[in-house]
Structures are given as C-alpha cells and as structure tokens.
Structure 1
Amino acid sequence: MDIFEEIDYYDNLFPVDDSNRRLNFSVPLRYLRDVQDPYHCENFKKRYRFSQDVVKSVILPLIDQDLRKLCNRGHPIAPELQILVCLRFYATASFQIVCGDLLCVSQPAASNIVANVSRLIALRQRQYIKYPQDMVSHRAQFAQLGRYQEYPGLRNVDGAIDCTHVKIVNTPGVEHHEAFRNRKSYFSINVQAVVGPFGNFMDIVARWAGSTHDSRIFQMCLLRTKYMQQQHTGYLIGDSGYPCLRFLLTPVGTPTTHAEQTYNKVHIKTRNVVERTFGRWKQRFPCLSRGLGNKLITVSNIIVACAVLFNISLVTNDMMPSYEEENEGIEEETNNESDSPGTTDGFAFRNTIINNYV
C-alpha cells in the first residue's frame, strides 16, 4: 500500500451521510446519555425506603428551598437528586462512593449531600418530633397497651423512654475518643428517645458518647427539666437503668408480692413499645445498625434526620412490607440491674400505683 492508498484508507474511515457527503465536524455534536429516571425505577420503595409520592410531596418540599439556597453556584445538583442520594445512603449504609456512582455523583459530592441534607432534615426536629396536643387520647392509648388479663393499664403515661447505641465505624476524630467506646467494646453514640403509643418519636437526644450511662443522659437532658418544672403533668416509663422518680416509673427489681409482680408485667407491656420502635427504626434505615463512618456532627444529624423521617412515614402511613419487620429483628440492649435508684417521692409514687393492682 503506497502513501496515497493509505491516505484513502484512513480517509474512508470518517463517517458519511446518506448522500456520501462529508459530515460537517465544525458543528458541535450533542451527546445523549441513556440514563434512567431514578424516580421511575423498579422497586423504588425498597431502594429508598419511601414511596415516590411521599418523597415528592412531603420530603422534598421540606428542604427544597434551603437546598437551592445552599447550592446555588456553578452547576448545582438538583435537590430531587440530592434527596435520593441521601435516602440511598440511609437505606444501604454503603460507601458514599457507591451511593454516588448509583446516581452518577462523585464521592466528594455524595459526602457533602449526605451532610447537608441530614442537617436540614434534622433542623425540622421540632416540627415532627414533639409531644401531641391531645394528651387525653394519647394516654388512653398507652393504657390500652399495658392491659394485662383483667388488670388495667397504667394511667397518665406520657411516653416510654430508653436508649440505644448507634455504631461508629471509624475512630472518632476527637481528643477523648475512648469515651465513645461502649461496654460492648465498640465506638457508638448512645441515643435517648421517648416514644409514643404508636411508635412515634416524641423526643430524641443523639449527642452523647457510647460510654455514657442512660441515667446520666436523662439527668442532663432538657426533658427532665421540663418535668421538674411541671411543664408535663404525666410520667414516663423506663427500665431499671433509670432512677425511680415522681415523673419516671421503673420496674421493681425483686418483686415479692402479687401486686408487684402484676405491676412489673403491666410495666413491661407498656414499655415494650420503645424496644419495638428501635427495631423498626433500624430496619427501615440500616445505616443505624450497620454503623456510620461520617464526622461526629454528621452522625448526630443523621440519627435525628432518620427519626424525623420515621415520624413522617407514620404520618403519611408509608409503611415498609411486614415481612421485613418480622424477619430482620434488631437485638436491643437491656439492663440487668437488681433495682434502680431513685428519690423518696419516686418510690412512694410507685408504691401507690402498685397498691392499685392488689
């Protein structure tokens, strides 16, 4: 092949149109990518833990304007896509680079999205995580939960309180990081929550290190101050890890009488709602059970954001399939103390209630 034949050979490799005329390469080409719309994918709810209607009509309007103000330079990622990136991270607890690749977003962008979206959702805490206005029917539902045979449930119960640990994958980047190592020898944040009769979060504290005892968290939280100032007139139900107070009832460590045994059974039936809620919460958002490797402030925001989203799912009745709740149980921690400390008023108030079950 001489030089002219070689030129003709390579020249014929250029594309030509139907009329055998050379294409005009001075006109820029438009590249179209065959990318599937993430809002119309198969099994949307299984991938993002919410239905399309709830994401578009409730979650997106909740932070849409704030996201647009936060990301308003260059070529920002659409808020619709940022919501899905964050929800996919909650639903899989996978590496951020994987969650980003699934929606064509880089790892640094995915990291910023998770941090920003979690913070904005967590800021809606007062809107969705609060005590109900109708406390009469609220307490009546708790009384129904605690019914045992012919014995009625406990009256005037505001909520069930307990703590659960959210694992931290990496070593916390703080000076006293060993404080985050809990009694099971892994790093975590000890999360305190008050739950209503329907499994809704009414109060949450997600900033204490894993080694902090449950009673210490309650002693330092704002909720205890509100009860001491009688802003709430009912009382809470807690396990033996909490002190027995006038506004916090705990079980009897070593029940000897029939009344004490009956009280303990009613108490356990009432308090079990918080254990079940923790289980469903971590099933819906597996990142809470598999562990988080984000910064500590982001981890706290993710925990609160998942609580807000969980309450949204209850308000919108957007439940997950029942088989997932039955087959993916979460083992909760229990306290095995003989009895809890408390005040004289607390023990006297508990004894008054116990005597009603004689």
Structure 2
Amino acid sequence: MSVSQPTVSRIVFRVSVLLASKIHDYIKMPSTQEAKLENQRLFERLGFGNGAIGIPGVDGAIDCTHVRLVHTRFQNINEVFRNRKGYFSLNVQTVVGPRMEFLDIVPEWPGSAHDSRIFQNSRIYMRYSERQLTGLLVGDAGYPCLPFLMTPLNNPVTDEQIAYNNIQSRTRIIVERTYGVWKRRFPCLSRGLTNKLICSTTIVVACAVLHNLSLIFNDDLPEEDIPDNLDDDLNGEIPVPQVNQQPADGFAFREALIYRMFNA
C-alpha cells in the first residue's frame, strides 16, 4: 500500500489509544445492586454440579495471562520482563465476569512479576480491602486465601472440602475460557506484540475493550474444546508472597463458607 512502517506504527498507536480510552466505559465492576446480584447468580450457576450447588456471592474470577513481547532486542526491554519460561512478556491481570466479560484489567506488569504481587498492588485489591466492594473473587492456588478471595484447598480431606474444590474450579475456569477466546479473537496477543512497550500495554487494553464490545453486539466467537494454555501457568510453583491481611482470616472465612454451603 506504499505506506511506511513508521506511519503504520503511529496509526496503530493512535487507534489503540482511542480504543483504550474507553476502558472506564466498558471495563468495570457492576455498579448497581441489580447488576451485582445478577452476576453473583450467574457465577453460582457456573459452580453447579450433580449436587446443584455453587459458591454464593462471587463477583468475578481473577487470574493473570502472559502476552509475549517480541523483537525486544531492538527495544532495550529490561530483563525484568523476562518470565520464568525465558521469554519476554507482560503479565496481564484481569477479573472476568460470568459472561466472559472483562471487569477489571491491569496490563503493565513485567513477565517476572508474580500474580499475587500484582494483585496486592492493584486498585481492585484496595477496593475489596477497604470494603468498597463486598462480594468475593475466586482465584487459583497462586493467590493467597483472603476473606474476599477464595482459593482451592491444597490438601482437601473431607467430602465437603473435595466438593468445594470441584465447585471452585468450575467457577474459576471461566477466566481461562475467556483468555482462550480473547487470544483467538486477537491473535497478536498469542503470537506476540512487536510494538514499543507503551504501545503494547495500550494494545492489550484496546483488545479488552473490543472484546467486551463484541459481547455487547453479540459478535460471538465459538470456544475451542482444547483448554487455553497460552499463558503457560508460569506461577504455580512459586510460594505465595505474604500480604497485609492475616492469612488465618481467609482460611477461617473459607472454612465457614464451606460449612454454610453444605450444611444450610
């Protein structure tokens, strides 16, 4: 098309900035009580199994996914962006709703950052800690168990604990499914971004905004049967860092929740 590469890069950046500027319009936690209760009802249905039970009060599923950064030798990317698999990436944290929509996104952390560290330095953590948000999040074992973040038990013993882990997994898997659809819809997220760092984080947010818009306009993309493995589950073997909350508070809340779920 006789357009120079620098011109294309400038256009990509400008369009991405315009799309990403809509983040607060299209990526947000439910703002009304009715919308919040509907989200929690749909999350509870996600956990339904043979016993027709789910985790009550869930606002969202939280996880991180790695977006590869390529051509980094030309961009002077700091080694802190090299993740445990040896390649450069952004570790992008999201909170996902029951319809596979993004409710919150943190796109700028380097690939070496642990999921838990990103979470405890995020605005969504502060909002739950200060009780601005009063529901629950569900996350994998890479996160600490907190009164507002339910994680699986490491060594379930009782039938109720085993059942809780199964329900928690069925509820949390929505975030993995979302990543699979998101990266298929926008192949640059799985293939890797060749742009400068500031443009790469902007593109990630722009793709999240477009993903939510696609759900609003019913532009469905069928899911694949193969689980999404593009983020490589990099953090599963790292000990969970300490957080400001007392871990015992989260463990006690989780045990009380399990008791209520199976003895109501």
**TM exceeds 0.5?**
yes
Instruction: Give the structure 2 partner of residue 150 of structure 1.
Output: 51
Cα offset, 1:338, TM superposition:
9.9
Instruction: Give the structure 2 partner of residue 223 of structure 1.
Output: 124
Matched, 1:354 2:258: yes
Instruction: Give the structure 2 partner of residue 326 of structure 1.
Output: 224
Matched, 1:180 2:84: no
Whose radius of gyration is greater, 1 or 2?
Answer: 1
Higher RCO (CA-CA < 8 Å; seq separation 6+)? 2
Structure 1 residues 123-142: aligned runs within 5 Å: 123-132=21-30, 133=32, 134-142=35-43
* 8 Å contact kept, 2:176–2:228: no
Query: Structure 1: any 5+ residue segments left out of the alignment?
Result: 1-100
Aligned residue pairs total 252
Against the structure 1 CA distance between its residues 329 and 353, is the aligned structure 2 distance closer, same or farther, given a 3 Å change threshold? Answer: closer
Q: Deviations over 1:180-233 (max 9, x none)?
A: 000100000000000000000000000000000000000111111111111111
* 8 Å contact kept, 2:142–2:238: no
Cα offset, 1:294, TM superposition:
0.6
Q: Percent identity?
A: 50
Matched, 1:202 2:202: no
What is the aligned-residue RMSD (CA, Å)? 1.9
Instruction: Give the structure 2 partner of residue 191 of structure 1.
Output: 92
* 8 Å contact kept, 1:240–1:337: no
Cα offset, 1:339, TM superposition:
8.5
Q: Deviations over 1:34-90 (max 9, x none)?
A: xxxxxxxxxxxxxxxxxxxxxxxxxxxxxxxxxxxxxxxxxxxxxxxxxxxxxxxxx
Tell me which of 205, 212, 218 is aligned to 1:317. Answer: 218
* 8 Å contact kept, 2:60–2:138: yes
Instruction: Give the structure 2 partner of residue 89 of structure 1.
Output: none
Instruction: Give the structure 2 partner of residue 343 of structure 1.
Output: 247
Partners of 2:18 and 2:115 in 1: how far apart? 27
Against the structure 1 CA distance between its residues 180 and 227, is the aligned structure 2 distance closer, same or farther, given a 3 Å change threshold? Answer: same
Instruction: Give the structure 1 partner of residue 171 of structure 2.
Output: 270
Aligned AA for 1:357? F
Q: Deviations over 1:9-46 (max 9, x none)?
A: xxxxxxxxxxxxxxxxxxxxxxxxxxxxxxxxxxxxxx
Partners of 1:124 and 1:210 in 2: how far apart? 25
Partners of 2:46 and 2:84 in 1: how far apart? 32
> How high is the TM-score relative to the length of structure 2?
0.90
Matched, 1:107 2:5: yes
* 8 Å contact kept, 1:285–1:306: yes
Partners of 1:227 and 1:301 in 2: how far apart? 26
Aligned AA for 2:108? R
Partners of 1:157 and 1:308 in 2: how far apart? 23
Tell me which of 188, 192, 200 is aligned to 1:287. Answer: 188
Partners of 2:239 and 2:9 in 1: how far apart? 45
Secondary structure of 1:326's match?
coil
Cα offset, 1:333, TM superposition:
3.1
